[in-house]
Amino acid sequence: MTDIATATAAASIGLPEETRTDDGPRGPRPVRALSRRNIMLYGTLIVVSIYYLLPLYVMVVTSLKGMPEIRVGNVFSPPLEITFQPWVKAWGEACTGLNCDGLSRGFWNSVRITIPSVIVSIAIASVNGYGLANWRFKGDNFFFTILIFGAFIPYQVMLYPVVIILREIGLYGSLTGLVIVHSVFGMPILTLLFRNYFTSLPEELFKAARVDGAGYWGIYFRIMLPMSLPIFVVAMIIQVTGIWNDFLFGTVYTKPDFWPMTVQLNNIVNSVQGVKEYNVNMAATLLTGLVPLVIYFVSGKLFVRGIAAGAVKG
Amino acid sequence: MHSVSIRDVSLNFGAVRVLEKLNLDVGEGEFLVLLGPSGCGKSTLLNCIAGLLDVSDGQIFINGKNVTWEQPKDRGIGMVFQSYALYPQMTVEGNLSFGLKNQGVPRAEIRERVDRAAKMLQIEPYLQRKPAHLSGGQRQRVAIGRALVREAGVFLFDEPLSNLDAKLRSELRVELKRLHQKLAHNTMIYVTHDQIEALTLADRIAVMKGGVIQQLADPHTIYNRPSNLYVAGFIGSPSMSFLDGDIVAKGDGHVFRIGENEIPLDGYVADNAIRPEAEAVFGVRPEHVEIVPEDQESASAIYPGTVDLDEPMGADSLVWITFAGQTLSARVDSSRRFSPGEKVRLGFNLSLASIFDKQTENRM
Amino acid sequence: MASGRPNQLFRNKTAKIAAIPMILTAMVVFIGGTGWTVVYSFTKSKLLPKLEWVGLDQYERLWNTNRWIVSIENLAVYGLSMLVLSFVIGFLLAALMDQKIRFENTFRTIMLYPFALSFIVTGLVWQWLLNPEFGIQGIVRDLGWENFAFDPLYNADLAIFGVMLAALWQGSGLVMVLMLAGLRGIDEEIWKAARIDGIPTWKTYLFIIIPMLRPVFITALVLITSGIIRVYDLVVAQTSGGPGLATEMPAKYVYDYMFRAQNLGQAFAASTMMLLAVLVVVVPWAMMEFGGRKND
């Protein structure tokens, strides 16, 4: 449009094209903040954001209302009278079919499961990745390929054999057993993550360290570890959220005494006894989601990087 | 006694033969350059000497000791890498002393050796810095220092200057040469694909291709009497011109016949007996070709040619000429200009030319 | 005076010892466990596994069980719509995010946070949101539309889509992030060339960008599919498989027969079927991804 306008303007004064310097567009092209494109773009993004945010909002407001208010209102209305009673109850008093300790028992179980599982699984997988990247031996790729395939095998297929293995070594139902299970099933993705990372480090660094007389563990601890802190953080994020959110292994491989928070939560909310206390349920749900949410919001970009790493790329 | 000796070394990666029954002796204090294009096996050979790769066959001796099965740290070598390979989390001092600590050298001695190396390489001011805060040239000095403190006697360089820009590269080249003069008893084996580095630094050059050493000689010989067509084409920039023709016996001697022209081989320095009635390749470097305008009288420039292209390169120009249907180049002072299509006369400096057997590709 | 050539088995000894956990996991758990389950799916195992061969009986019974058939149908409906919607939504969101928008980080954070939450949490929230009395249906009715009906979790025909709504909420951010990474990986100059040629944006996406994103699509396909086949926690938390059999899934079938009905043979046969389904997707992908590379 503007091009045609200037062309006609120049022609009408009868100037040759080259001398058209005074009139016509000049300087930066005008930008309108509220163009139709922008309204549609940001409008869509805001609507989409509401869809994603709504459940979080509903969880928060429901958990802050009293039961009478819930019965008369709707899930979206903000609480008229804020009460923290549901949170207290969800934490310490809510009942599952078995006990009335609330979520706190599950929380501490989850802590006791997650910490050693994260440490052990990352320790094993980082050594695997380091070996695969730097200390090749015949057949190592064969085991690695099986490991990666294992990432796709539905857990249901291996569920029972693992029960038998754990029973044979006397760890079925124990915390140690569950730590082993998490280390085993977390191994494919973490090994891949570490292998790719260590492969991306310059090989000459490894050679230089060997000329300098460092061995397998010397190079791992003195050269590789100090260089790889970011990837360890990524691995920690993957593992803490993954293990904290686990439900299946928690139910299959532990006794009720050791049930993690997710299992405890499901039992509280879906227990059929008594009146449904929606506010307590939502408080409990929020409490369970809190740990991964905090990790997510604190870690930001690293979380995204962890996800991209999980998106299997040989 | 040889400082490094390689005996019949072969290396296979699966079915691929990377090194082919190699033999090489490097004298004490010698600066040997392994030169070749990427994939020729030069870095592989260096890694074998360092013990970073196991050989499939053959033996390696360093300072008279068979080290074929030794770990890298026990071989008595220091190594400098292309990417410097400095440990990023350690200071310069930490980098220099890491290997010595692993060897269990007493602390006082480590201090002393690090100081000596730092002084020699002028990196004392940076000893407490991390590699990330150093320039490329400084990093490479630290990398050299790391090899130096080992006081091993044998230095292995794996393309140490390739990551630097052109200006810094020529500066460090000079420094390396000085360093070698200072450390006269230290043997250096230096891998590069850069012929200028090879020609300026080396006492001897081993030109490699396909896992085989093509020629092993001092730089002058490599440049002026390349043993085969490959070496002749690889060394020299701008590269040697090759003209196809054949050898004919004439009178007492031989001539090289190309089209209707006959070039007498009177001043030629032969390596092998010249075989007449053979197809051959005449190789001549641009600076050994003389050109004069057609109308100018000259005793030496007598062969007719036509100018294709005049390519100025600063101090001199490269003139591309069609001669008997083939193309060759000549190097002339850049003040002389030629225009395409111009008729000229050519002359060749026979004492610095090479003739190769077309079949064996070896120099005659 | 060279030290003796080390025995081949003990070369790199430390590296091999350090790899033992990986080797055990690969060989004992993944290969051994999978093989064990497949073998025992041909036995009469009930409460305990025992090697009494019954041939294909378990599979015959499996495919004659109404609950299994319904589970498969549910999975097919859920899987297909989930796959299509994940791709469409994920790609559209990624394309939106790629318009050099402001607050990109904020929007991404909002779309991705559900992925950090467990399926249990996801299921329970959406159970509450879709509660006919207090949830979305209740609100719309309060606003005056007395006959408005939106109670997917209590309507057997719709329940599976109620589960899908939750699954999309949880997982679509991931697909978006993957595809956005793919879009960002495309050479800027492709866009410049398209602009100079005057190709409209939507056409550029459709005919130039999408074909270039093939590797990302394949990765997303594999991830989404293996997630679909595994779906278990979400259903347990949100609907417990109900109403009726409306949201039963194969993974839940396996679990229930394994630990509740104590009919191991059935569970093994069902999980072997799941394995087959995954192999159908993963093997061709692996051949393309890793097999082709050797020929390059």
Domain boundaries, chain C: 59-295
Q: Looking at beta carbons, which residues of chain B come within 8 Å of C3?
A: 69-70
- What integer is the mean pLDDT of B301-320? 89
**pLDDT, position B61:** 92
Q: Looking at beta carbons, which residues of chain B come within 8 Å of A226?
A: 89
Task: Tell me the pLDDT band of B153, cut-offs 50, 70 and 90.
Answer: confident
pLDDT tops 60 at residue B141: yes
- What integer is the mean pLDDT of B226-233? 92
Q: Are the beta carbons of B79 and A209 separated by less than 8 Å?
A: no
Q: What interhelical angle do C159-184 and A301-310 show, nearest 10?
A: 100
**pLDDT, position C296:** 34
CA distances from B124 to B120, B138, B142, C112 (A): 9, 11, 10, 51
pLDDT tops 80 at residue A73: no
Contact A287, A107 (CB under 8 A): yes
**pLDDT, position A12:** 47
Strand partners, B191: B34, B158
Q: Please tell me the distance from the alpha carbon of residue A180 to that of residue A167, in angstroms, as a whole number.
A: 13
**pLDDT, position B201:** 92
Q: Please tell me the distance from the alpha carbon of residue C25 to that of residue A143, in angstroms, as a whole number.
A: 9
> What are C219-247's pLDDT values in tens digits?
788 778 878 888 888 998 888 887 888 88
Which of the 8 DSSP states describes residue C199?
-
> What are B322-331's pLDDT values in tens digits?
998 899 999 9
Best interface-test mutation with B: which of A201, A211, A216 has the largest number of B CBs within 10 A?
A211
* Contact partners, residue B282, CB within 8 Å, separation at least 6: B242, B243, B244, B245, B256, B258, B263, B353, B354, B355
- The topology under which CATH files domain A104-275+288-313 is MetI-like fold (1.10.3720)
- H helices of chain C, in order, are 13-18, 20-24, 34-40, 57-63, 66-97, 104-116, 119-129, 136-142, 159-184, 188-196, 201-203, 210-212, 214-230, 233-238, 250-259, 264-286
Q: Looking at beta carbons, which residues of chain C come within 8 Å of B68?
A: 2
Contact A312, A192 (CB under 8 A): yes
Q: Please tell me the distance from the alpha carbon of residue B169 to that of residue B163, in angstroms, as a whole number.
A: 9
Report helix, strand or coil for A154.
Answer: coil
Shortest CB distance from A153 goes to which of C30, C108, C116? C30
pLDDT tops 60 at residue A162: yes
- What integer is the mean pLDDT of C270-281? 89
Q: Looking at beta carbons, which residues of chain C come within 8 Å of B69?
A: 2-6
**Residue matched to tokens 């040759």:** A16
> What are C55-101's pLDDT values in tens digits?
888 899 889 889 999 999 999 999 999 999 999 999 999 999 988 88
pLDDT tops 60 at residue C213: yes
Maximum mean pLDDT: which of A80-89, A132-141, B198-207: B198-207
- What integer is the mean pLDDT of B156-170? 88
Q: Which of residues 136-165 of A touch C (CB under 8 A)?
A: 137, 140, 143-147, 149-150, 152-162, 164-165
CA distances from C184 to C86, C99, C104, C189, C269 (A): 19, 11, 13, 12, 44
Maximum mean pLDDT: which of B248-257, C224-233, C262-271: C262-271
Asked if omega into A154 is within 30° of 0 (cis), the reply is no
- What integer is the mean pLDDT of B125-145? 90
- Pick the more confident residue, C136 or A285: A285
Asked if omega into C243 is within 30° of 0 (cis), the reply is yes
Q: Report the half-sphere exposure of A133 (CA within 13 A, side-chain side).
A: 27
**pLDDT, position C272:** 94
Looking at CA atoms only, how far is residue C6 from chain B in angstroms? Answer: 8
Domain definitions of chain A by residue range: 104-275+288-313
- The topology under which CATH files domain C59-295 is MetI-like fold (1.10.3720)
pLDDT tops 50 at residue A314: no
Q: Looking at beta carbons, which residues of chain C come within 8 Å of B67?
A: 2
> What are C113-157's pLDDT values in tens digits?
998 899 999 999 998 888 887 777 877 787 777 777 777 788 888
Q: Is C288 on the interface with A (CB under 8 A)?
A: no
**pLDDT, position A84:** 86
Strand partners, B79: B156
**DSSP H or E stretch at residue B60:** strand B57-62
How do B303-312 and B354-357 pair as beta strands? unpaired
pTM of the predicted model as reported, rounded to 2 decimal places: 0.83
pLDDT tops 70 at residue B281: yes
**pLDDT, position A120:** 96
- Pick the more confident residue, C111 or C285: C111
> What are B68-98's pLDDT values in tens digits?
888 888 888 899 998 888 898 899 999 999 9
Looking at CA atoms only, how far is residue C4 from chain B in angstroms? Answer: 7
- What integer is the mean pLDDT of A203-232? 91
Q: Is A47 on the interface with C (CB under 8 A)?
A: no
Q: Please tell me the distance from the alpha carbon of residue A295 to that of residue B155, in angstroms, as a whole number.
A: 50
* Contact partners, residue B335, CB within 8 Å, separation at least 6: none
- Measuring CA to CA, which residue among B13, B62, B31, B15 is closest to residue B198? B31
Task: Tell me the pLDDT band of C280, cut-offs 50, 70 and 90.
Answer: confident
| DSSP string for C121-189 | HHHHHHHHHT-TTTSHHHHHHHTT-TT----GGG-TTTHHHHHHHHHHHHHHHHHHHHHHHHHHTS-HH
| Range scoring the smallest mean pLDDT among A7-21, A276-290, B266-280, C26-40 | A7-21
Q: Is B61 on the interface with A (CB under 8 A)?
A: no
* Contact partners, residue A23, CB within 8 Å, separation at least 6: A6, A9, A10
- Pick the more confident residue, B122 or A30: B122
Q: Looking at beta carbons, which residues of chain C come within 8 Å of A247?
A: 118-120, 232-233, 236-237
Determine what percent of chain B is predicted with pLDDT higher than 70: 99
Q: Please tell me the distance from the alpha carbon of residue B220 to that of residue B232, in angstroms, as a whole number.
A: 12
pLDDT tops 90 at residue B298: no
Task: Tell me the pLDDT band of A180, cut-offs 50, 70 and 90.
Answer: very high
> What are B171-224's pLDDT values in tens digits?
889 988 988 888 888 899 999 999 999 999 999 999 999 899 999 999 999 999
Q: Looking at beta carbons, which residues of chain A come within 8 Å of B99?
A: 211-213
**pLDDT, position A14:** 52
Q: Is B300 on the interface with C (CB under 8 A)?
A: no
> What are A6-55's pLDDT values in tens digits?
444 444 455 555 555 666 777 777 777 678 888 888 999 999 999 999 99
Task: Tell me the pLDDT band of C8, cut-offs 50, 70 and 90.
Answer: low
Which of the 8 DSSP states describes residue B160?
T
Q: Is B83 on the interface with C (CB under 8 A)?
A: no
Shortest CB distance from A211 goes to which of B50, B84, B87? B50
pLDDT tops 60 at residue C36: yes
Contact A277, A160 (CB under 8 A): no
Looking at CA atoms only, how far is residue C134 from chain B in angstroms? Answer: 58
Report helix, strand or coil for B209.
Answer: strand
How do B187-192 and B204-209 pair as beta strands? unpaired
What phi and psi, each to the nearest 5 degrees, are found at residue C240? 50, 30
Shortest CB distance from C5 goes to which of B65, B67, B69? B69
- Pick the more confident residue, C51 or A165: A165
Looking at CA atoms only, how far is residue A153 from chain C in angstroms? Answer: 6
The residue type of B8 is D
Contact A303, A295 (CB under 8 A): yes
> What are B22-69's pLDDT values in tens digits?
999 999 989 999 999 988 889 999 999 998 888 888 999 998 889 888
- What integer is the mean pLDDT of A254-258? 87
**pLDDT, position A11:** 46
Q: Are the beta carbons of B73 and A208 separated by less than 8 Å?
A: no
| Range scoring the smallest mean pLDDT among B55-69, B107-121, B266-280 | B266-280
